[in-house]
């Protein structure tokens, strides 16, 4: 029996397995797990998981992220960003909530708060002048 796309579960996962490489942009209404290598922008309607062997270089927009691998770029996360002890992040991160395990490496900027508060925040060049952005390196 063929499965109709409209009846497929939103909890279906997309996987980029270890050893696989993707060059280009990827959009998904559900969750994505990356254990391989992605060079391009990811737009994820659900949760993005970057496994310990995963590598993502590009802009990410997601509802939630859980990172154990390496990410380079910009992240815009509507909910929780979890950086696990094996994570290596070089990014501009905008998120509602942030959890960093000891051992995780984060280099870049982070802006935290509710989506509503972030939308009402000052323009980025004014933030830089007033010092409302945070730079951090965690190891």
**2 within a domain of the structure (yes/no):** no
Sign of CA dihedral 82, 86, 31, 45: positive
**72 within a domain of the structure (yes/no):** yes
Q: How far apart are CA 47 and CA 122, in angstroms?
A: 28
**6 within a domain of the structure (yes/no):** no
Range of the domain at 67: 12-138
**4 within a domain of the structure (yes/no):** no
**62 within a domain of the structure (yes/no):** yes
For the CA atoms of 56, 89, 46, 3, the dihedral, rounded to the nearest 10 degrees, stands at 30
Of 55, 34, 31, 26, the C-alpha closest to 45 is 31
**1 within a domain of the structure (yes/no):** no
Statement: residue 35 has pLDDT above 50: yes
Q: What is the mean pLDDT of residues 71-77?
A: 97
**109 within a domain of the structure (yes/no):** yes
Q: How many domains does the chain have?
A: 1
How do residues 85-129 score in pLDDT, each as one tens digit? Answer: 999 999 999 999 999 999 999 999 999 987 554 454 444 444 443
């Amino acid at each position: 029996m063929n499965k109709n796309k409209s009846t497929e579960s939103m909890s279906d996962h997309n996987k980029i397995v270890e050893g696989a490489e993707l060059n280009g942009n990827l959009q998904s209404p559900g969750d994505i797990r990356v254990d391989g290598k992605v060079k391009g922008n990811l737009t994820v309607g659900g949760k993005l998981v970057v496994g310990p062997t995963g590598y993502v270089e590009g802009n990410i927009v997601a509802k939630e992220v859980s990172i154990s691998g390496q990410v380079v770029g910009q992240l815009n996360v509507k909910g929780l960003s979890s950086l696990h002890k094996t994570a290596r992040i070089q990014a501009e991160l905008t998120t509602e909530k942030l959890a960093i395990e000891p051992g995780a490496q984060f280099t870049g900027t982070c802006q935290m708060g509710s989506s509503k508060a972030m939308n009402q925040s000052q323009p980025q060049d004014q933030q830089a002048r007033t010092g409302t952005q945070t730079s951090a390196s965690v190891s």
